[in-house]
Structure 1
Amino acid sequence: MIQQEAVVDEDWEYRRLQLPPGVSRRAAATQLSIHAEFAGWELSTVRLYSDGSRRVWLRRKRRPAEVGYLAS
């Protein structure tokens, strides 16, 4: 699995993952579940290519401290 740097916009943070052709659907689902459960990511987009590789975009809501709000 190849992870790319996170892309941040105003409200969301995105991360791209590239899954190689040999990864089964079950293994891919397990990896994505781990990202969701332990890091707070949710699935945004999945693209399956003809060679069997997958490009996955995950997203998560930015936390108030990251957006620039002051904690009171």
Structure 2
Amino acid sequence: MNQHSERSTHIVTPTRRVASADSRFDWRVVDIPREVTRAEARALLTEQAEYGRWDLIRSQTFIGGARRVWLRRRVMNVRRTDLARTDAA
């Protein structure tokens, strides 16, 4: 095993003080260490976009070379359309 296969990014989901019921988006903040190459970071974000339906909203690069990106995706609120019966027959 080489050094590159042991590295992983740190995915941190921010906490909100008050979870709003009418929020249209889920948010995810991804901290990418400086040891991760641009190609690896791009592959990670592309995978998140394709399979998790995340959109890149903002990116920030720190002086040491670490990166932080903000991802969001639309919340799908699905309401039940059939006439569900609460009583058991």
TM-score range (shorter-chain normalised) is 0.7 to 0.9
- Correspondences of 1:1-72 after superposition (within 5 Å): 1-5=9-13, 10-65=23-78, 70-72=79-81
Which AA in structure 1 matches 2:80?
A
- Superposition TM-score, scaled by structure 1 size: 0.84
Which structure is larger by alpha-carbon Rg, 1 or 2? 2
- TM-score where L is the length of structure 2: 0.69
Tell me if structure 2 keeps the 8 A contact 1:6–1:13: no
DSSP 3-state at the match of 2:56: strand
2:44 counterpart SS class:
helix
How many Å separate the matches in 2 of 1:44 and 1:53?
17
For residues 48 and 29 of structure 1, the distance between their equivalents in structure 2, rounded to whole angstroms, comes to 14
CA distance in 1, matches of 2:71, 2:14: 9
Q: Which amino acid in structure 2 is aligned with residue 21 of structure 1?
A: R
Deviations along 1:45-70, one digit per CA (max 9) or x if unpaired, are: 100011000011100000113xxxx2
| Structure 1 or 2: more helix by fraction | 1
User: Tell me, which stretches of 5 or more residues in structure 1 are unaligned?
Assistant: none
Point out where structure 2 has 5 or more consecutive residues left out of the alignment: 1-8, 82-89
What is the root-mean-square deviation in Å for CA atoms of aligned residues? 1.6
Which structure has more strand as a fraction of its residues? 1
Letter paired with 1:5: T
Percent identity between matched residues is: 26
Q: Deviations over 1:7-35 (max 9, x none)?
A: 56511110001000111111111000001
Aligned residues: 68
User: Following the alignment from structure 1 to structure 2, what is the Cα–Cα distance between the partners of residues 58 and 6?
Assistant: 11
